Structure 1
Amino acid sequence: MSNFYVEIVAFILNISGWVLVCSTLPMDYWKVYSLDGVVLATATYWSNLWKTCVMDLTGVSDCKGFPSLLALDGYIHTCRGLMIAAVCLGFFGSAFALFGMKCTKIGGSERTNGRITCVAGVDFILSGLCSLSAFSIYANQITSEFFDPKFFGQKYELGAALYIGFGGSVLCIIGGSMLCFSFTNSFTKSHSQENSIYNGAA
């Protein structure tokens, strides 16, 4: 019965983390730069994986998509690929979890469902690691430019999307580990029961 509750908690953590990671893809503030000076000249620059924008004091924003894929920096390509992989892995992990968890009872033997649940856990762990790597690479680029005395461009700071993404990635890793732990725990119990039955029959 304890594995039942562990799977429920793990599934909630995984879905919550995956939704948070997915929500950062269209989110605006991956990196932010505020130009403070004369009140009328104050502006806020922000950027994400798809576009860069500027917003003036009146709240009017002007956005520009990245013009060319080949002209993009390598770290943006890497982050895009990792984020797409994280979303896909989380989707398949959710599907496998729904089929393999004990509370759904869709079908199959207990050992088969446990293996499916373990595959779902691995998918969520990989999803969390992919997204965590993407956010870390992006944040490392921002901080390295910010603290580089030889960099004279706009020095951005970490945006809210990165903090949300870090939290979602950690939830996916923790939830996926719990799913794998529930499978190994149930497998150990079933194996010990089989041995006790065999010894009793002997």
Structure 2
Amino acid sequence: MSAVDSLGFLLGLVGWILIGISLGIDEWRVSSLDGSVITTSTIYENLWKSCASDSTGVYNCRNFLSLFGLSDYIRASQALMIISILMGFFAAVITLFGLKCTLLGNTDPIVKAKVATAGGAVFIVAALCAMVPVSWYAYNITVQFYDPLYPGTKYELGPGLYIGWAGGSLELIGGICLCLTCKSASGATRAPGSYAYTYRAARSTPGAVSRKINSELDNTSNYGKSAYV
């Protein structure tokens, strides 16, 4: 099942890269033109900064001045995305030692399968840490957009969210594929149609052994006496 763990590693690695790309994209949310009076400028934001561009292509960005001035969900999303990036990196390193096509670490197939499963579990956690803030961020955009009493600027979903969803989905699928390698390796250790037999030696006591020896000696002496009759 080397193809399954290699495919899982590639999917997880590509998903981790996409999550990193989504974290650096400025357009997590883009100002909506629906009901807006000013249509010559566009405002877009991500977790770290806010940018504005006009119809001529000139744009200006500013970082958020204070972490404590942000909404709670933005601060939580920042933390979860950073955790996802770090865990994805460690998952890729762990999985490298568990791939059957590599000679790193222990070469025992069972040990490698367990290491690959551990890497797959970390990939799954990293995917969830990325998909939760992306979905949470999109949920707040949707709620604000459909709230008629919301006084601020209304936004729409930006491309950074879609890339984050794609990366988290690939990491999740890759982690599941890696977790399946442990079951495949344990099933491959026993050939199809073979059966295992367990032999257990009969227990004997010293008294039983002595009685058996005496019985054999009596039979031998009786045979000797009848031989001369």
Q: Which residue of 2 aligns with 1:63?
A: 61
SS of residue matched to 1:52: strand
Q: Which residue of 1 aligns with 2:173?
A: 174
Counterpart AA for 1:62:
N
Task: Report how many residues are paired.
Answer: 197
Q: Is the 8 A contact 1:34 1:42 kept in 2?
A: no
* TM-score, L = length of structure 2: 0.80
The one-character-per-residue Cα deviations of 1:38-85 (angstroms, maximum 9, x if unpaired) are 7xx601100000000100111111111111111111011110111011
Give the deviation of 1:189 after TM superposition.
2.7
Instruction: Indicate which of 190, 196, 199 corresponds to 2:197.
Output: 199
SS of residue matched to 2:150: coil
The one-character-per-residue Cα deviations of 1:105-151 (angstroms, maximum 9, x if unpaired) are 21312222111101100011001111000100100110010011110
* TM-score, L = length of structure 1: 0.91
Q: Which residue of 2 aligns with 1:157?
A: 156
Q: State the identity %.
A: 38
Pair 1:82-2:77 in alignment:
no
Q: CA separation in 2, counterparts of 1:199 and 1:43?
A: 78
Q: Which residue of 2 aligns with 1:141?
A: 140
Give the deviation of 1:188 after TM superposition.
2.8
Q: CA separation in 1, counterparts of 2:42 and 2:169?
A: 30
Alignment gaps of 5+ in structure 1:
none
Pair 1:18-2:52 in alignment:
no
Q: Which residue of 1 aligns with 2:182?
A: 183
Deviates more, 1:101-110 or 1:75-84: 101-110
Deviates more, 1:26-35 or 1:65-74: 26-35
Q: CA separation in 2, counterparts of 1:140 and 1:107?
A: 44
Q: CA RMSD in A?
A: 2.1
Q: Is the 8 A contact 2:109 2:185 kept in 1?
A: no
Alignment gaps of 5+ in structure 2:
201-229
